[in-house]
Structure 1
Amino acid sequence: MWTAACEALTIPADQTFRSVWALRSVLPAWAGDRIEAAPAEPSYVADDGFPAELSVNWSGTRPELRLLFDCGLVSPVSPGYARSGAVAANPRLGQIHEIFTARPGLPSPPLWHSVAWRPPARVVHKTYFGLYAWPLSQRYAAVSEAMRRLGMTAAWDDARRRVESAVGPREIEFFAVDLADEAAARVKIYYRNHGADIGELNRIASVARHHDAERALAAYRSLTGDRTAAGEAALSCLAFRSGVDGAAECATYLRLANLASCDGEAVDRTAALMRSEGVDPERFRVLANALAPRSLKDSQGLLALVSYRAAGRPGDITTYFRPPVYGRSVPAPSPVDLAWHDRDDDPISTIGRS
């Protein structure tokens, strides 16, 4: 997948070779396992249980290639990943890692990692904690404690209050951190939206300090085919940066696999959005065809998600590809009941306060 994407994006061979070496050094031990007829332990990364997803961000002069992968499953985390300086020595991850570990009555949240590369720049690492198996009160308590340790309590309180005032309670699904020391490194909180329309998604995104609501709504309409419904389980990702007293920006993810009749239609809608944002979609089309196992008109779900961020950078669109490996979907986590209340006795909220 990675080398096919590099070829489609016309990345020089020597740079591709170095990036493959870097990627292999951090992939988990399962990367060397034989792919059987069905996943031994399904991952939630892809609908069919495969533990990896490839994506490309199209902003800027060069696309950014990314691979998101599940760090666990039946095999342990790779020695290369564990030794990675971006992971082991990262101050932010060290501050919060214990919050997102197994405790009595709660499973350990899945740990995902992402390698992002905008050639010829260096590789950037990101880590994600999947909170979808925890009760909502536990998720909010863990996120609040993590934001406290990172010095972002005021920003999180402001964003949460404004989101809930605009659209009501939300389900937190992921907590993520950029593994970098730069001031631009982000902390990200992902909401899963059940039964939302694009106006609701736009109200959530408008909580961010940098958001163009008019441009965003036009982009959402392009992706949904002018429908107001946002489709199945759209995501809103609030990004927080040091020194900003609220959410800095918001990316909205729409599931094109649910909104379009086939991958051909999904690619056409996305290409139209890219063109309207001043991005030539030709490389995107070449990439989609390179990853497709058959004609895009005869496939469904390859282009699984498309995200859009209206934060001042034209063409801030990311396309998420999940090539079919196992051929059938596995059950995803069930939607949760949002009629919940915070509990003052939540054990997570007292971690590290002695």
Structure 2
Amino acid sequence: MTAVGPEAPGAPDPETLGGHTARQLLRLGEIAGLSGADSKVYARTLVEALGPVAQRPLKLPPPSRSFLSDDHTPVEFSLSCEPGAAPILRVLLEPGAGAGDLVEEGRTGLRVLREMGRRWGFATDRLDELADLFFPSSPEGPLALWCALELRPGGVPKVKAYLNPAASGERRAAKTVRKALKRLGYREAFDALPEGDRHLFFALDLGDWTDPRAKVYLAHHDLSAAEACTLSRMDGGPGRAEIEEFFRIAAGPDTDGDAVGLGGGAGAGAGEGAGGGGEPRLVRRPVQTCHAFTDTGNGLPSGFTLYIPVRDYARHDGEALDRATALLGHYGIDPAPVLRASAAVTSRRPEDGVGLVAYLGLAHQQGRQPRVMTYLSSEAYEVRPPTAALPAVPLSAAALSTVSLPAAAVTGG
């Protein structure tokens, strides 16, 4: 990765993948309070990290069926907001998109991260120590490596790597996560995790972090608010009332008091399950949690994040933005930057599609205020049409095979 800066010539063509996403980043950078020079550096970094696919015309199909977003754009944005502070802009990308197979995607992703390390002066030792677990000779799964950049003033981002626990097969995902945690010194961490239906991602903070984290992401199918309250394992984490309120707002009550797109779920009759009494459950796309570990001498996580895939529980993005506004207001955060950010990413009306706002997240980390995260899809290739009504049924196996993993979730936590 070559050095870049605002003076670098050759602005990308806006009708290419790189040009489209770079322009979005530049507009979002202004909203997040970044200088024009820093935003240009980050935009060019994004284009370079995407590699050859950045020059691919948007009139062509996506370079690969990336699970990073529903329309297979290998880029996604998010804003992390907390009271009394400017929003933090993050970008998630798949540096190996279009490489052809998972082996090459992994090689490309590792090369890009190591080049970033040389450029910004951070080591990738922790990532290299896990290479045999997450980059086998015959990898499986929907991804090899994703990279997230937390964009800070000064042109040097915080960097995160996201790996696939199912690289050696879905049945071995839990064992892979356990081994990875132990190698990094978190010997008791795996046993502290709650039950989940799937190990989605294993993530590492790289570079200039005060307390670098190892993070485990889990999927929770057919979940109720009461069950969500049992998933945090951190000391000083969110209480039951806070999680239930977040769940209620993000899932979105309709005029009848039930959440849009929710269902009773199998076995959700009176007295059954944590919710009992037929409590509404999220059934169309799973809720995700992130469990962050920083202390190797303590088996408990120091961070917990809960993510609601709002795009599958709202009729259109106007509803999703209303929920984001309500959440931000609940925590005393000005919603204006998030509303401006949605307009910076697309010129369409929020009511004309669903999926621009992909996830809403609530993050707790020891030593920090709670954060509300809003995840914005690039929509480089497709806009999902609005839905008149959402049936309260799970997605079919065929439908699940065409939608993304919880990519939006991975930039938080």
Identity of aligned residues (%): 24
Deviation string 1:286-332 (CA, Å, 9 cap, x unpaired) is 11122233111222110011111244644501111113222277965
TM-score calculated relative to the size of structure 2: 0.72
Provide the residue aligned with 1:229 in structure 2. 281
Deviation string 1:225-279 (CA, Å, 9 cap, x unpaired) is 2434335211111111134421112101111111111101110111111011011
Q: Distance in 1 between matches of 2:364 and 2:140?
A: 37
Task: Call closer, same or farther: CA 1:87–1:110 in 2, change over 3 Å.
Answer: farther
Could you tell me how far 1:119 is from its partner in structure 2? 2.9
Of 76-85 and 55-64, deviating more is: 76-85
Q: Is the partner of 2:129 in helix, strand or coil?
A: helix
Could you tell me how far 1:334 is from its partner in structure 2? 8.3
Deviation string 1:38-76 (CA, Å, 9 cap, x unpaired) is 224210000111111111111261211111111223236
1:317 aligns with 2:372: yes
1:5 aligns with 2:28: yes
Provide the residue aligned with 1:286 in structure 2. 340
Task: Call closer, same or farther: CA 1:130–1:248 in 2, change over 3 Å.
Answer: same
Which of residues 69, 73, 90 is equivalent to 1:50?
73
Provide the residue aligned with 2:115 in structure 1. 83
Of 74-83 and 307-316, deviating more is: 74-83
1:180 aligns with 2:210: no
Provide the residue aligned with 2:42 in structure 1. 19
Provide the residue aligned with 2:238 in structure 1. 212
Q: Is the partner of 1:309 in helix, strand or coil?
A: strand
Provide the residue aligned with 1:305 in structure 2. 359
Query: Do the aligned residues in 2 keep the contact of 1:25 with 1:80 (CA within 8 Å)?
Result: no
Q: Distance in 2 between matches of 1:81 and 1:325?
A: 24
Query: Do the aligned residues in 2 keep the contact of 1:194 with 1:234 (CA within 8 Å)?
Result: yes
Amino acid across the alignment from 1:208: M
Q: Is the partner of 2:126 in helix, strand or coil?
A: helix
Provide the residue aligned with 2:53 in structure 1. 30
Of 251-260 and 308-317, deviating more is: 308-317
Query: Do the aligned residues in 2 keep the contact of 1:131 with 1:173 (CA within 8 Å)?
Result: yes
Task: Call closer, same or farther: CA 1:325–1:104 in 2, change over 3 Å.
Answer: closer
Provide the residue aligned with 1:338 in structure 2. none
Provide the residue aligned with 2:131 in structure 1. 97
Which of residues 158, 167, 174 is equivalent to 1:140?
174
Amino acid across the alignment from 1:98: D
Aligned residues: 327
Could you tell me how far 1:170 is from its partner in structure 2? 2.9
Q: Distance in 1 between matches of 2:210 and 2:33?
A: 31
Query: Do the aligned residues in 2 keep the contact of 1:175 with 1:188 (CA within 8 Å)?
Result: yes
Which of residues 282, 289, 293 is equivalent to 1:240?
293
Unmatched runs of 5 consecutive residues or more in structure 2: 1-23, 254-258, 260-279, 385-397, 404-413
Provide the residue aligned with 2:270 in structure 1. none
Could you tell me how far 1:122 is from its partner in structure 2? 3.5
> What are the residue-to-residue correspondences of 1:255-274 with 2, within 5 Å?
255-274=309-328
1:64 aligns with 2:71: no
Q: Distance in 1 between matches of 2:383 and 2:142?
A: 26
Of 11-20 and 318-327, deviating more is: 11-20
Which of residues 205, 217, 220 is equivalent to 1:193?
220
Task: Call closer, same or farther: CA 1:285–1:141 in 2, change over 3 Å.
Answer: same
Could you tell me how far 1:209 is from its partner in structure 2? 2.2
Deviation string 1:104-152 (CA, Å, 9 cap, x unpaired) is 5746952101111133584100000133565443111111111111010
Q: Distance in 2 between matches of 1:170 and 1:264?
A: 31
Q: Is the partner of 2:130 in helix, strand or coil?
A: helix
Of 16-25 and 240-249, deviating more is: 16-25
Q: Is the partner of 1:89 in helix, strand or coil?
A: coil
Provide the residue aligned with 1:115 in structure 2. 149
Q: Distance in 1 between matches of 2:175 and 2:307?
A: 25
1:202 aligns with 2:229: yes
> What are the residue-to-residue correspondences of 1:141-160 with 2, within 5 Å?
141-157=175-191, 159-160=192-193
Task: Call closer, same or farther: CA 1:307–1:56 in 2, change over 3 Å.
Answer: same
Provide the residue aligned with 2:197 in structure 1. 170
Q: Distance in 2 between matches of 1:37 and 1:174?
A: 30
Amino acid across the alignment from 1:308: L
Q: Is the partner of 2:173 in helix, strand or coil?
A: helix
Amino acid across the alignment from 2:86: R
Q: Distance in 2 between matches of 1:334 and 1:191?
A: 20
TM-score calculated relative to the size of structure 1: 0.83
Provide the residue aligned with 2:305 in structure 1. 251
